[in-house]
Copies of this chain bind each other. A is one copy, B any other.
Amino acid sequence: MARDDMARDDGPDRPVAVQAPGSGADATAAAAESELESATKATQAVGNSFLTAGDLDLAALLRSPADPDLVQLLAPEGERVEHPDYAVDFSDAQYRSLYRDLVLVRRIDREASTLQRQGELGIWAPLAGQEAAQIGSARALRPGDMAFPTYREHGVAWCRGVDPLVLLGLFRGVNLGGWDPLEHNFSLYTIVIGAQTLHATGYAMGMQRDGSEDAVIAYFGDGASSQGDVNEAFVYAAVYNAPVVFFCQNNQWAISEPSERQSRIPLYRRASGFGFPGVRVDGNDVLATYAVTEKALADARSGQGPTLVEAFTYRMGAHTSNDDPTRYRLDHELEAWKLKDPLERMKSFLYKQQIADRSFFDDLDTEAETLARQLRKSCREMPEPQPLSIFDDVYVEPTEHLRRQREDYAAYLDSFEDAAVGGGR
A-side residues, CB < 8 A to B, are: 21-22, 25-26, 29-30, 32-33, 35-37, 39-40, 43-44, 46-53, 205, 208-209, 211-213, 225-229, 231-232, 235, 238-243, 260-265, 269-277, 301-305
Contacts and interface: CB of A to CB of B under 8 A. Distances in A.
Contact of A263 (B33, B242, B269, B274): B274
B211 A48 contact: yes
Contact of A275 (B39, B208, B275): B39
A273 B271 contact: yes
A263 B235 contact: yes
A6 to B, nearest CB: 32
Given A37-B26, A46-B303, A228 B226 contact: no
A410 to B, nearest CB: 39
A332 to B, nearest CB: 25
Nearest to A45: B303
A205 B26 contact: no
A43 B305 contact: yes
Q: Which 10 residue pairs spanning A and B have beta carbons closest together?
A: A228-B228, A273-B273, A231-B231, A265-B275, A47-B303, A50-B208, A43-B241, A270-B273, A48-B303, A264-B275
Given A48-B301, A239-B260, 10 more contacts: A22-B40, A29-B29, A35-B275, A226-B235, A227-B232, A241-B264, A263-B274, A265-B274, A270-B273, A273-B273
22 contacts: A21-B40, A29-B29, A30-B30, A43-B241, A44-B303, A48-B208, A48-B213, A48-B302, A49-B208, A49-B303, A50-B208, A50-B209, A50-B240, A50-B242, A225-B235, A228-B232, A231-B232, A239-B263, A269-B272, A270-B273, A272-B272, A272-B273
Given A265-B275, A269-B272, A303-B47, A33 B40 contact: no
